[in-house]
Structure 1
Amino acid sequence: MNASMPRQLSVLEYLKRQLDGTLGSDDQTHMRYPTAISGLLGFRIVEIGEAVAIVEMDADAALHGNQQGTVHGGMLCELADAAIGTAHSTLMARGQSFASLDLKATFLRPVWQSRLRAHARAVHRGRTITHYQCDIQREDGKIVASVASAVMTLSGEQAEGR
Structure 2
Amino acid sequence: MTDSAHRHVPVLEFLKRQLDGSLTADTVTHMRYPTAISALLKFRIVEIGEALAVIELDADCAIHGNQQGTVHGGLLCELADAAIGTAHSSVMDIEESFTSIDLRATFLRPVWKSRLSARAWAEHRGRTISHYRCDIQREDGKIVASVASTVMTLHGALAKNR
CA distance in 2: counterparts of 1:56 and 1:28, whole angstroms? 23
Look up the match of 1:10: 10
Matched residue type, 1:143: I
Deviation at 1:56, TM superposition (A): 0.5
Look up the match of 1:72: 72
CA distance in 1: counterparts of 2:94 and 2:14, whole angstroms? 13
Deviation at 1:5, TM superposition (A): 2.1
Look up the match of 1:21: 21
CA distance in 2: counterparts of 1:35 and 1:25, whole angstroms? 17
Secondary structure of residue in 2 paired with 1:136: strand
Matched residue type, 1:42: K
TM-score by length of 2: 0.97
Look up the match of 2:147: 147
* Count of residue correspondences: 159
Instruction: State whether structure 2 residue 67 is matched by structure 1 residue 40.
Output: no
CA distance in 1: counterparts of 2:19 and 2:107, whole angstroms? 30
Alignment of 1:117-128 (within 5 A): 117-128=117-128
TM-score by length of 1: 0.97
Deviation at 1:44, TM superposition (A): 0.4
Matched residue type, 1:73: G
CA distance in 1: counterparts of 2:5 and 2:60, whole angstroms? 43
CA distance in 2: counterparts of 1:10 and 1:94, whole angstroms? 7
Q: Percent identity?
A: 74
Secondary structure of residue in 1 paired with 2:5: coil
CA distance in 2: counterparts of 1:86 and 1:69, whole angstroms? 29
Please list the CA deviations of residues 41-94 of structure 1 after superposition, one character each: whole Å capped at 9, or x if unmatched: 000000000000000000000100000000000000000000000000001111
CA distance in 1: counterparts of 2:91 and 2:81, whole angstroms? 16
Look up the match of 1:110: 110
Matched residue type, 2:12: L
Look up the match of 2:87: 87
Runs of 4+ in 1 over 4 A off after TM superposition: none
Look up the match of 2:57: 57
CA distance in 2: counterparts of 1:68 and 1:45, whole angstroms? 29
CA distance in 1: counterparts of 2:25 and 2:104, whole angstroms? 38
Where do 5+ consecutive residues of structure 2 fail to align? none
Where do 5+ consecutive residues of structure 1 fail to align? none
Secondary structure of residue in 2 paired with 1:30: coil
Secondary structure of residue in 1 paired with 2:93: coil
Matched residue type, 1:112: W
Secondary structure of residue in 2 paired with 1:83: helix
